[in-house]
Amino acid sequence: MERYTKTAMLLHWLVAILIIAAFLLGLTMVDIKGITPTKLKYYSWHKWMGVTVLFLAVARALWRAKHTPPPHPANAPAWQNKAADVVHYLLYFFIFAVPISGYLYTLAAGVPVVYLGVWQMPVLFEGTPELKAFFKPIHYWLNMSMALFVIAHAGAALKHHFIDRDGVLKRMLP
Ligand code: HEM
């Protein structure tokens, strides 16, 4: 069966690892009481991971626009192929929307984002308590929605591997 290219695999797994790490770190850091050095360090790491996801998302979308993925497995029902396409497009949407919402939320809180501690990213607007309260649930709910589709996506990949045994997961594995 036709496989994904090395570039497609690299971008796929880098983004997968980073969104899972940023997601778990996000849930952990907000629960740390008070303002401790560890909490501040985690917030910075979280933002850097998220901004990296955004850069990789741009690279992925540009790459994808020029390269067609391998065809759907021949024996899968049409509705499953359609569902896979819809979920893949939604995941593309989330890898942009989730980091952008985190970035806007940070600016809304009046904090500039300094990528890797060296590059201050554009401060697009001035933060206010109203904007902060507006963006906070947006970042949260985009994350929870993305998590749902990530679980569906990974669950479908595992079903292909262990139940259908059709090699669909293997073509994304090096
Ligand atoms: C793939 C990218 C990202 C993922 C998966 C992610 C995930 C999360 C999660 C799960 C939380 C916890 C939400 C809560 O329980 O309230 C969170 C919080 C937060 N995220 Fe992100 N995030 C991402 C990108 C970003 C980016 C790019 C920034 C800023 C540059 C950012 C800034 C924040 C901030 C400041 C919080 C803390 C919210 C608070 O203190 O109430 N995130 N993120």
For residue 73, give the DSSP letter: P
Pocket, ligand 1, Cβ cutoff 6 A: 19, 22-23, 26-27, 30, 43, 46-47, 50-51, 53, 98-99, 102-103, 105-106, 113, 136, 139-140, 143
Give the separation between CA 133 and CA 99, rounded to whole angstroms: 17
Q: What integer pLDDT is reported at residue 1 of this predicted model?
A: 79
Q: How far apart, in whole angstroms, are the C-alpha atoms of residue 101 and residue 116?
A: 19
Nearest 10 degrees: Cα torsion 132, 133, 139, 141: 180
Q: What whole-number distance in Å separates Cα of residue 108 and Cα of residue 131?
A: 5
The domains of the chain are located at 6-172
Give the pLDDT score at 74: 87
Indicate which residue's Cα is closest to atom 35 of ligand 1. 106
- The pair of three-digit structure tokens given for residue 1, joined into one six-digit string: 């069966």
The CATH number assigned to the domain with range 6-172 reads 1.20.950
Please give the C-alpha separations between residue 145 and each of 57, 87, 100, 140, 151, in angstroms, as whole numbers: 18, 12, 15, 9, 10
Give the pair of three-digit tokens for residue 97: 């929307």
Instruction: Output the pLDDT for position 86.
Output: 98
Closest C-alpha among 105, 152, 155 to residue 132: 105
* pLDDT per 10-residue tile (average), the chain, 174 residues: 94 98 98 97 98 98 95 93 97 98 98 98 98 98 98 98 95 95
Reading the block at residue 74, the tokens are 């021949």
Q: Which atom of ligand 1 is nearest to the CA of 30?
A: 40
Tokens of 123: 């401060």
For residues 16 and 79, what is the distance between their CA atoms, to the nearest angstrom?
Answer: 25
Predicted pLDDT at 139: 98
How many other C-beta atoms can be found within 10 angstroms of the C-beta atom of residue 86? 11
Q: Over the stretch 36-56, which tens digit does the pLDDT of each residue have?
A: 999 999 999 999 999 999 999
Stated as kind and residue range, the H or E segment containing 174 is none
Environment class of 29 (CB within 10 Å of its CB; exposed 0-12, middle 13-18, buried 19+): middle
Cα 7 to ligand 1 centroid, rounded to whole Å: 27
